[in-house]
Amino acid sequence: MKILVTGTAGFIGFHLSRKLIERGDEVVGLDCINSYYDVNIKYDRLKLKGINKDHIEYSKIIQSEIHNNYRFIKLKLEDKEQIDKLFKEEKFDVVCNLAAQAGVRYSITNPYAYIESNIIGYINILEAVRHNNVKHLVYASSSSVYGLNETMPLSTHHNVDHPISLYAASKKSNELMAHTYSHLYNIPTTGLRFFTVYGPWGRPDMALFIFTKAILNNQPINVFNYGNMIRDFTYVDDIVNGIVRVIDNKPEGKKDWSGKNPDPSSSKAPYKIYNIGNNNPVKLMDFITEIEKKLGKVAEKQMLPMQDGDVPATSADVTDLVTDLNYKPNTSIQYGIDKFIDWYLDYFKTN
């Protein structure tokens, strides 16, 4: 298939693009390479896919020097004119929209960045999909949409009407917008609620990266909610394998769906929402212990209260993913942390 992957220089987008390239899809990767975190990591991800940063120009597609089935374009989702041009010229079969302004706490101090990228940019994608006969739109949502929900495990069959950050609200908005387009224009859309993704080439603003860097530099780590946090940490390879299965299985709509007892995760329209999580929540202190074991160093811990916009626990119900796609993420925390730290030590030894 011919697939557009937005956010291709990002953490998940980098790994997904590589997987699709390896299996023989024709991939166009899009990214604006914003400065939310160190752009050098983004350029190094692109370099591994054969994209030379010196050749990158805005809105110009460049060919990979390694893979004949991968091309890259630097572009903002908010640039409607260039997005429309790209879709018209390339005729994508599938679009996987992973590009977004990420981060819960950043959304509290920089709200407009989330409206521009996650709302305005997203409607540009929806409109381009609508007018160019794209067969399936797969897009990133987030476990953050569960907000104040406390029933565990968190289920896509529960309503998610109480977000506690603008980031979460923007992701919930994406799901609502997708349903509207599925209903009005019969466009198959699938939203993926990711649960705390980690692994090699991970984001520098995520806990594993922050903890590893601090411990190695003999600096204290901030442990929020006094360590009473639980997270459904999900290894990036599990996430990517799930996305690929979703790409290959577009929703068709449920004939028995009832508006009298509406299921939020599905519809009469070709619309579906899945959780992708490890389905094996880990206590934050146990997570830190595994990092300490791998590094052979004990962290100095600053125990702090909960941050605004954060939640004490996440745990993913992945029943639908298992039932519909015969798939369940299952990488252990020990394996995943080992792989990340091996990558981290190698990367920063050579960069």
Name the catalytic one among 106, 167, 181, 271: 167
Angle among Cα 313, 318, 323 to the nearest 5 degrees reads 170
Sheet holding 61-63, edge to edge: 61-63, 70-74, 26-31, 2-6, 94-97, 136-142, 189-194, 271-276
- The CA distance from 255 to 50, in Å, is 45
Token pair 């995943």 in the structure block, residue: 336
Distance CA 144, CA 167 (A): 8
Residues 38/259, Cβ–Cβ less than 8 Å: no
Rounded Cα distance between 233 and 335, Å, is 12
Give backbone dihedrals phi and psi of 232, rounded to 5 degrees, phi first: -90, 70
Q: Quick check: 92 and 105 in contact, CB under 8 A?
A: no
Q: 3 has which bridge partners?
A: 27, 94
- Can you tell me the distance from the alpha carbon of 252 to that of 231, in angstroms, rounded to the nearest whole number? 32
Strands 26-31 and 70-74: parallel
**Terminal Cα-to-Cα distance of the chain (whole angstroms):** 35
Cα–Cα separations (whole angstroms), residue 215 to 9, 39, 118, 228: 27, 23, 34, 20
Give dist(CA 187, CA 126) in Å, integer.
Answer: 9
Residue found by looking up tokens 């599925």 in the block: 182
Is there a catalytic annotation at residue 327?
A: no
With both helix axes pointing from N to C terminus, report the angle between 207-216 and 333-350 in degrees, rounded to the nearest 10. Answer: 60
My answer on whether omega of the bond before 188 falls inside 30° of 0, hence cis, is no
With both helix axes pointing from N to C terminus, report the angle between 236-247 and 11-23 in degrees, rounded to the nearest 10.
60
Residue type, 19: K
- So which residues are the catalytic ones? 167
